[in-house]
Amino acid sequence: MTLTLAAAVSVSVAFLTMLFDSADARRQVSRMAHRRVCWTLVSLAFLSCVNLFDVTAEDLPANEIIASVDGDPVYVGELNLILAERFQNQPINSIDVDLKRATCHLLAQRRLALRALRKVGGEPLATMVQNEIDAFVTEVRRRGSTLQQQASARSSDSASLLVDLSWRVAWGAYLKSKLTDENLRRYFESHANAYDGTKYRVSQIFMRPISTSAADILETEKTLSSFASEIQTNDDREAVFATLARQHSQSPTAESGGQLGWIESEGDLPAGLVREIRELPIGSVSRPLRSPFGVHLLLVHEIEKGKTSYDELTDLSMLRRDAANALFQNLVETESETKVMWHLDVLKPPTDSQ
């Protein structure tokens, strides 16, 4: 049975480990990290839900090149390694193609980040990675196996296996060096409203596109943009917002004028929406925001500032997760001029950001 987009919420948690899969990082990144990546991956899939045809393991050999990052190939084998590890009881050829595309998007970002790490780490990092690879190869041989046998068991090849190991070693070492108490404290101070208990009283107008096509999604965003303009130009924004919510919102909160109540954490709304709320001043309206469910327009009525300090935090896992995500994105952004070329259209992400 094909893994559908509807299953993405429960399945996509697997891909976070692609970014943070080292012994040190696993201790530093909590299960809560899965939520953000979950929404990111499902949103990517949401933008291209119409499959022209499915990709199977038989269609694409492990040494097939998906993309190249400044000429450095990204192989199908790397994709299969992640899929085989995370969906152990799921045949690779039954996994929805949109999830494969979303994973390819992350693979390309991971290559950009690895490229940046190699520049930062220089020869010491290269030596560390090579030592880990040598130790891995020695252990595989001690067990009477080969790299290719290890890779084939997961529909991959030896080249992809070594690239994957290189990433895990480099990223794990980088996280260990950066996620210090001093740096975490500094990150907290720069983003305190995400961790100190700050709450936001929010309303929304929610609309579902009539289909998952790009045209229908854009049409829905256009409609909500017109609502936003109408609200922003009115002296009584809250009243106009509530009226439009009652008339047009497809959320159960429509009858109450779209009132969602108090929002504090990502468990209350998809992470992307919560991040947007934290940037909005009182009385302002967001731009139309996509989520796995549809398109949202948000209004912040009131903000109640939190009082929790860094030293009072009892659980640093969410802070570590967000700091690690920021580190990853910063590495990717340093390679913004690096060319990413897609060689397999069927696995090309719906939005190529590079």
pLDDT in tens, 187-233: 999 999 999 999 999 999 999 999 888 889 999 999 999 999 999 99
Whether 202 and 301 have beta carbons less than 8 Å apart is answered as: yes
Out of 8-17, 78-87, 119-128, 307-316, pick the least confident: 8-17
Does the structure show a pLDDT above 50 at 314? yes
Q: How big is the chain by its Cα radius of gyration, in Å?
A: 22
Confidence bin at 185 (pLDDT 50/70/90): very high
Given this model, what pLDDT does residue 83 score?
86
Given this model, what pLDDT does residue 351 score?
58
Q: Which two tokens stand for residue 189?
A: 């101070």
Given this model, what pLDDT does residue 202 score?
96
pLDDT in tens, 33-89: 333 333 333 333 333 333 333 444 346 888 899 999 999 999 999 999 988 888 887
Out of 16-20, 120-124, 302-306, pick the least confident: 16-20
pLDDT in tens, 335-348: 999 999 999 888 88
- Cα distances (angstroms) measured from residue 124 to each of 16, 165, 213, 265: 27, 16, 48, 40
Whether 188 and 134 have beta carbons less than 8 Å apart is answered as: no
Out of 5-19, 70-84, 161-175, 333-347, pick the least confident: 5-19
Tell me the DSSP string of 117-176.
Answer: HHHHHHHHHHHHHHHHHHHHHHHHHHTT--HHHHHHTTT--HHHHHHHHHHHHHHHHHHH
Higher-confidence residue of 235 and 26: namely 235
**What structural domains does the chain harbor?**
5-188+327-347 (1.10.4030), 197-304 (3.10.50.40)
CA distance 307 to 314: 14
Confidence bin at 260 (pLDDT 50/70/90): very high
Higher-confidence residue of 151 and 19: namely 151
CA distance 269 to 203: 12
CA distance 300 to 188: 23
Higher-confidence residue of 350 and 76: namely 76
Q: Is 280 exposed, middle or buried (0-12, 13-18, 19+ CB in 10 A)?
A: middle
Higher-confidence residue of 44 and 238: namely 238
* Average pLDDT for 288-316: 93
Does the structure show a pLDDT above 70 at 352? no
Given this model, what pLDDT does residue 33 score?
39
Q: Which two tokens stand for residue 244?
A: 């439009």
Higher-confidence residue of 45 and 109: namely 109
